């Protein structure tokens, strides 16, 4: 699956304001991130995670593409949360040569979802290593519709529509991981 999304960081006030603007459905998910000791997967812009949702576990890999705002996302269900994943298992899922990886930690997201024709708005509160941040993601199949919704939300919140200033959850997680482990 190709994942197309715009994303920007929000303040806690903008987060609360946005939640009051639309009829959101809320879910809680935990991403358990995996990498090598020297963060080899991250260096290759490959995300390896196990997403825990409703008591189920999903091995997911995100791989870079040459298209702006897009990544390939692959997934398969697991029977339980592992502490390590073999490179051969990752290769069978992605086709990429991979080393064995270990669990680095977890990021728990309270995600509020509002669907529109051509995509969905995800408003996230993420907690990891004692830190909390807020993010707006607009995932889409129809870029024009997504830009319209993004424009509407930006206007309501009085924020810029820049989409290139937000680092993803994995990058924010890894920055904090490095601080905690240096």
Structure confidence by residue, pLDDT tens digits, 86-103 = 999 999 999 999 999 999
- As a whole number, the mean pLDDT across the chain is 91
Report the alpha-carbon distance of residue 150 to residue 152 in Å, rounded: 5
Report the alpha-carbon distance of residue 167 to residue 16 in Å, rounded: 21
Please give the pLDDT value at position 162. Answer: 61
CATH architecture of 2-180: Beta Barrel (2.40)
First to last CA, the chain: 36
Report the alpha-carbon distance of residue 49 to residue 173 in Å, rounded: 12
Residues of the chain with confidence (pLDDT) below 70 = 1-2, 67-70, 161-165
Please give the pLDDT value at position 168. Answer: 85
Residue 180 phi/psi, 5-degree rounding, is: -70, -25
- The whole model's pTM is what? 0.87
Report the alpha-carbon distance of residue 116 to residue 93 in Å, rounded: 31
Report which secondary-structure segment, H or E, holds 125: strand 119-128
Please give the pLDDT value at position 126. Answer: 98
Rg (CA), the chain: 17
Whether the CB-CB separation of 58 and 50 falls below 8 Å is answered with yes
The CA-based diameter of the chain, rounded to the nearest angstrom, is 48
Please give the pLDDT value at position 70. Answer: 66
145-to-2, 67, 175 alpha-carbon distances in Å: 17, 18, 33
């Amino acid at each position: 699956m190709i994942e197309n999304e715009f994303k920007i960081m929000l303040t806690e006030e903008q987060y609360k304001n946005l939640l009051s603007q639309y009829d959101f459905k809320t879910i809680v998910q935990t991403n358990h991130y995996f990498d090598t000791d020297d963060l080899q997967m991250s260096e290759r812009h490959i995300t390896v995670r196990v997403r825990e949702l409703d008591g189920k576990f999903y091995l997911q890999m995100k791989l870079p593409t040459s298209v702006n705002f897009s990544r390939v996302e692959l997934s398969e269900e697991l029977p339980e949360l592992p502490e390590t994943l073999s490179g051969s298992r990752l290769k069978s899922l992605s086709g990429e040569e991979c080393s064995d990886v270990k669990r680095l930690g977890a990021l728990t997201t309270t995600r509020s979802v509002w669907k529109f024709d051509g995509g969905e708005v995800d408003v996230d509160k993420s907690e990891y290593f004692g830190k909390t941040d807020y993010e707006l993601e607009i995932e889409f199949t129809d870029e024009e519709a997504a830009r319209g919704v993004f424009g509407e939300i930006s206007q309501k919140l009085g924020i810029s529509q820049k989409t290139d200033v937000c680092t993803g959850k994995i990058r924010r997680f890894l920055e904090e991981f490095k601080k905690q482990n240096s």
